[in-house]
Amino acid sequence: MQFKKLADLFSKLESTSKRLEMIDILSNFFLDIKTTNDFSDLDKIIYLLQGQLVSNIKQFPKLGLAEKMIIEALSLHSGINGKEIKNILLKEGDIGATAELILSKKKKQKSLFDFDKDMEASESSLEISELYSALQKIAKTEGSGSQDIKLGILRSLMRKCSPIETKYLLRIITSTLRVGVSTLTIIDGLAQGFIGDKKARDFIEKAYNQHPDLGDVTLILAKKGIEEVKKIKISYGTPVRNMLASRVSYSEIIDKLGKPCVAEYKLDGERLQIHKMGEKILLFSRRLLEISEQYPDVCQVIRDKIKAKRVILEGEVVAMDHFYEKMLPFQVLSRRRRKYDIEDISKEIPVSIFLFDILMIGDESYIDRIYPERRKKLEEIVEQKDEIRLVDSKQINSTEEMLDFFNEARNAGTEGIIIKSIKNDSFYQAGNRGFLWIKLKGLEGGKLADTVDVVLVGAFYGRGRRKGWYGTYIGAVYDPLNDKFEAFTRIASGWTDEIMETLKSEVKKYEVEKKPSDVICDDKPDQWLIPEIVIEIFGDEITVSDKFSSLGYSMRFPVFQRIRPEKGPKDVTTVEEIKSLYETQ
């Protein structure tokens, strides 16, 4: 397919913020594709709509294109000097919009005077597949002379693009493509466009939750139909989307889950989804990225101590002291996040994996089994030792028993507990934050009994001792329906100088001149940030306030707790959760 068609689609989608209109635009687009019966680039189109080059569970190799080079390419292409481009970029705040502006002006001038051959060429089309092979080439080019080769490829791409295509091309290569459609909206568009029935969306979503590659799911839908989509199931080598826990006031937990239920320690480590395929072990992170190399010790103990040839498990990996007696906080574990000297750091910081779920064994999916059955199977196949254990769990019959267990868990150095349903519908709900799992992290302090994760969208310079550094950040929560980040609170305390310094260099990569289009915020920070860095905060209470955005809620006395590198911007606390936190505090 021509890239031009996709650029037109992006442009149409960007012109509205209404979800129903977006669904209509998407469904017409998919209906067109269905009629042409050409699905060759369909998976890529889906990823680009999601603002990525590949699916969530894969990573496209790094392109290694610095802003300087992109400006140089644009300068050579347009004949406008680099300095001028930089000035426009400062005003526009986005390289895509800058390119579109410059090139459309240029085009108008040219068509007034001489219709240049070059511009005629720019009307010739770039194919999506061609764009991908060019980007692959750019990523692969290394060593001496590579900069010139990359520049050459970039220029030849630009030559084939109209101004509007260049806008999206540059957003793609700078990872700032955000069309503003959420994955749920794309799924609605697929159901309406390919099947002509809104209800089909549930089957597509279920398939996506078990196989989080929407490009793959879409190809099956387009080529084979909805019946084949219904057959998409959990499989080895592809991570399933995580089941997550909700929050409610502690006095309501037992009512919500029914008696009896079970409570487990909520460990302060990193979630791992473990795929054991004989000797081959794959570990997936909370963001569903493969991180097996980071934990060779966990891979080995899974090989040795799990009595099943093929199995998919979930657990929390926790840093331990050298006697494997005391659990150490997440900050210690986060030191294991590195690419080099993994053996050394594994010895320095030993870990235990605490298993809490099983999703598949042999060829049998366990996702639709109730929790007691899953736990029983887990107990049967784990040979426990220091490095591998089952998470502590207890049957609970009353709020008092739950609170006792909570205190025990906190004394053992955990974050709190997760209380889980054991009723007849206690299935593993992939990709869902429902009420079958409820977390309880705190009772003391202010009214609020839990932390909130926010993504940084803006920063203010500090005063006095912190002059020259950012002293305050604006944290936003996520609205998955509209795919927007809503400013929630200013965070000015809890930072150590060390954290401030780390953050300052981290956020540098995401500084932009203008408010990003997917951020809703009425505050006026000194610096806007592309939503990427996630932090955890704690506060006194959620209050009603429309100070920062249309959200209507904010937090009193927010305090920074920690950076959360294992979470992406869309994994932060949602608008819905903030509302329920407010109602239950």
Active-site residue 266, yes or no?
A: yes
Question: For residue 460, how far is the Cα from the chain centroid?
Answer: 25
Residues forming the site for ligand ATP (CB under 6 A):
242, 244-245, 264-267, 271, 286, 316, 356, 391, 418, 439, 453
DSSP codes of every residue in 67-99: HHHHHHHHHHHH---HHHHHHHHHHH--HHHHH
Nearer to ligand ATP, 350 or 442 (CB): 442
Nearer to ligand ATP, 34 or 271 (CB): 271
Residue 230 CB, nearest approach to ligand ATP (Å): 27
Nearer to ligand ATP, 70 or 302 (CB): 302
Residue 355 CB, nearest approach to ligand ATP (Å): 9
Catalytic residue among 150, 266, 276, 439: 266
DSSP codes of every residue in 408-462: HHHHTT-SEEEEE--STT----TT-EEEEEEEE---SSSS--S-EEEEEEEEEEB
**Three-state secondary structure of 376-418:** HHHHHHECCECCEEECCEEEECCHHHHHHHHHHHHHCCCCEEE
Residue 477 CB, nearest approach to ligand ATP (Å): 12
Q: Are 449 and 440 in contact (CB under 8 A)?
A: yes
Nearer to ligand ATP, 77 or 441 (CB): 441
For the four alpha carbons of 406, 412, 416 and 417, in that order, the dihedral sign comes to negative
Is residue 296 reached through a cis peptide bond, with omega within 30 degrees of 0 on the bond before it?
Answer: no
Nearer to ligand ATP, 20 or 412 (CB): 412
* Geometric angle at alpha carbon 267, from 264 and 268, rounded to 5°: 160
Residue 297's SS3 state is helix
Nearer to ligand ATP, 4 or 286 (CB): 286
Residue 571 CB, nearest approach to ligand ATP (Å): 6
Residue 338 CB, nearest approach to ligand ATP (Å): 20
Rounded to the nearest 10 degrees, what angle do helices 128-140 and 3-14 cross at? 100
Residue 314 CB, nearest approach to ligand ATP (Å): 7
Tokens for 13, please give them: 């989608």
Residue 237: Cβ within 10 Å count: 12
Query: What's the rounded Cα separation, in Å, for the pair 297 and 82?
Result: 51
Residues annotated as part of the active site:
266
